[in-house]
């Protein structure tokens, strides 16, 4: 949860870039963390549930119009994410990775795990993903997402 991440960052005095002490940078992190619940998390999880879990639970194929609607909802928030939060910066809060970037990418991996490559036609988003992966380490990133990336094989 976001509350636990913030608690851990404070308790263990993590490097400043994760949850910046600079008020403007921290405000950008907080702004994203507040926005993402009903936007990136909400729409990304909805696509994952609709495309992977619902057919698995019901044994029924997904109606194409339902998938199209859910995908379009996600596309709208992805555009907002790129325009409002990424803009022309390497990371959400500026030049260094923060908790906002980590949370954002984790949430975006759910639709990817459902087989929707949302990075494919979004070069700005793909470059941001590459930077986040490099910052945390590619091996750790792959280990952390192994389960969700294999969910479509259920």
The tens digit of pLDDT for each residue in 68-78 reads 999 999 999 99
The secondary structure of residue 98, as a DSSP letter, is -
Q: What pLDDT score does 154 carry?
A: 61
Q: What pLDDT score does 56 carry?
A: 87
Please, what sign has the CA dihedral across residues 12, 17, 7, 25? Answer: positive
Going by pLDDT thresholds of 50, 70 and 90, the confidence category of residue 152 is low
DSSP code string of 37-54: IIIIIHHHHHHHIIIIIH
Unique residue bearing structure tokens 């495309």: 51
Full-model pTM: 0.92
Please report the domains of the chain, with CATH numbers, ordered by start residue: 1-11+23-150 (1.20.1050.10)
Give residue-wise pLDDT tens across range 114-146.
999 999 999 999 999 999 999 999 999 999 999
Unique residue bearing structure tokens 């490097």: 15
Q: What pLDDT score does 61 carry?
A: 79
Distance CA 94, CA 131 (A): 12
Distance CA 122, CA 82 (A): 9
Going by pLDDT thresholds of 50, 70 and 90, the confidence category of residue 149 is confident
Q: What pLDDT score does 62 carry?
A: 84
Whether the CB-CB separation of 91 and 24 falls below 8 Å is answered with: no
Report percent pLDDT > 70 for the chain.
98
Please, what sign has the CA dihedral across residues 23, 136, 78, 109? Answer: negative
């Amino acid at each position: 949860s976001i509350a636990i991440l913030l608690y851990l960052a404070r308790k263990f005095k993590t490097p400043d870039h994760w949850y910046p002490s600079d008020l403007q940078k921290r405000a950008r992190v907080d702004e994203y963390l507040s926005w993402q619940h009903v936007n990136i998390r909400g729409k990304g999880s909805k696509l994952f549930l609709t495309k992977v879990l619902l057919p698995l639970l019901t044994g029924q194929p997904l109606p194409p119009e339902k998938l199209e609607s859910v995908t379009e909802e996600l596309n709208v928030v992805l555009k907002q994410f790129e325009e409002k939060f990424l803009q022309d910066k390497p990371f959400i809060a500026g030049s260094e990775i923060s908790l906002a970037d980590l949370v954002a990418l984790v949430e975006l991996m759910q639709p990817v795990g459902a087989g929707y490559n949302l990075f494919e036609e979004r070069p700005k988003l793909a470059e941001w993903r590459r930077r986040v992966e490099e910052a945390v380490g590619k091996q750790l990133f792959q280990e952390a997402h192994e389960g969700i990336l294999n969910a479509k094989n259920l």
